[in-house]
Amino acid sequence: MRLRSLLCLALSYGSALIQACGSHGQFRKWTQEELDELERKWGQEWGFSGISAFAHLEYHKCLTTPNELYDIAIIGAPFDTAVSYRPGARFGPRAIRAASARQTSFRGFNARAGINPYASWARILDCGDIPVVPVDNAIALKQMTAAFTELGQRPPSSTLQKPRLVTLGGDHSLSLPALRAIHEIYGPVRVLHFDAHLDTWHPAKYPSYWASEQARFTHGSMFWMAGEEGLLANGSLGAPSVHAGLRTRLSGLEDYEDDDEQGWVRISADEIDDLGTGGVVKSIMDTLGTQDPVYLSVDIDVLDPAFAPGTGTPEPGGWTTRELIRILRGLEGLNLVGADVVEVAPAYQGAGEETALAAAQVVFEILSSMVKRGLDEMGKVVDDVKDEL
């Protein structure tokens, strides 16, 4: 009898369903009411408890669970072997998740947006990380492209056309495979790019005797490559993209000429002194509008190193965390179809996690805007159905 009881107990622990051992070693089914009671009793987590999923969201390894549907997926891309200065952003997704611990669905109401993104219509999952190989950039590029494409083309949980991906980086080169995946769905898109650097550097202008095809793919050339591949609705299409927060040194004015040829509008970090945050928001919205699909890419080095020292290529003279958040809050009218937050390298940040905390807040603002925009889109769908009836 003791052996039977132990076997029954072991089986009950091994079951992920709703079975458990009864008092006489027999299986029984839990009622939904009992399960609900267990959830009320033990389901709540404090900010410092639980596994390190982003904002304590439901976690699935979505790449290995193809039947798991979502409206917005948080996906990590722990890759940093395309950097030109300090490595370490492969630990960015882990750090951002840890810094998001105080974000919960219980207290996730965003006052400026008027919604709680974690408790609204959208099913938001933490989909884990892409297992990006760290020793072969060509394979890594293929892996990220394949993963973003697969995750981005799943049917959504709601009435959205396609789910949205918000990527935690990782170095900035991941924007290229993300844009390749988005192009499969939407065609050429516009980009809003917060960064200290242009990242439209012509790869042939990197001085190197040992040039190679693979060396073209870096965290400073990926938007140039995206433009060359026709992934951006820039230039000839008359739909410019936007850089904001620029303050990088140049090899010469020809860097701006290359940028101009690909149809980018530039907003320097210094312009915030004259325009204010409201003026920066207006400049961005006047350029991008509210209809065209936009990919948002936030390099955390858009912030001054005083606020975000944990990054690969820090540049003095950047924006404060408050200024960036204020600007992001003013952009909720954009039609965001994807986003990334990149270049968080926690080895260089302080003990207070200021860089990762800033990145986690940026993700929260992005999610809030996506969910709020989704409410508007769903309302339009309802209105269209009513008109047809």
Cα–Cα separations (whole angstroms), residue 206 to 209, 221, 256: 10, 10, 15
Higher pLDDT, residue 59 or 253: 59
**E strands of the chain, at which residues?**
19-21, 27-29, 72-77, 124-129, 164-169, 190-194, 241-246, 264-268, 293-299, 335-342
pLDDT of residue 159: 82
Q: What percent of the chain has pLDDT over 70?
A: 89
Residue 17 predicted with pLDDT over 90: no
pLDDT band (50, 70, 90) for residue 236: low
Residue 382 predicted with pLDDT over 80: no
CA distance 80 to 173: 8
pLDDT of residue 251: 81
CA distance 73 to 153: 12
* Cβ burial, residue 17 (10 Å; 0-12/13-18/19+): exposed
pLDDT band (50, 70, 90) for residue 5: low
pLDDT band (50, 70, 90) for residue 380: low
Structure tokens at 278: 């409201």
The domains of the chain, with CATH numbers, are: 55-388 (3.40.800.10)
Q: SS3 for 303?
A: strand
- pLDDT tens by residue, 240-286: 999 999 998 888 888 898 899 889 999 999 999 999 999 999 999 99
* Cβ burial, residue 162 (10 Å; 0-12/13-18/19+): middle
pLDDT of residue 211: 77
pLDDT band (50, 70, 90) for residue 237: low
Q: SS3 for 264?
A: strand
pLDDT of residue 328: 97
**Average pLDDT rounded to a whole number, residues 51-55:** 93
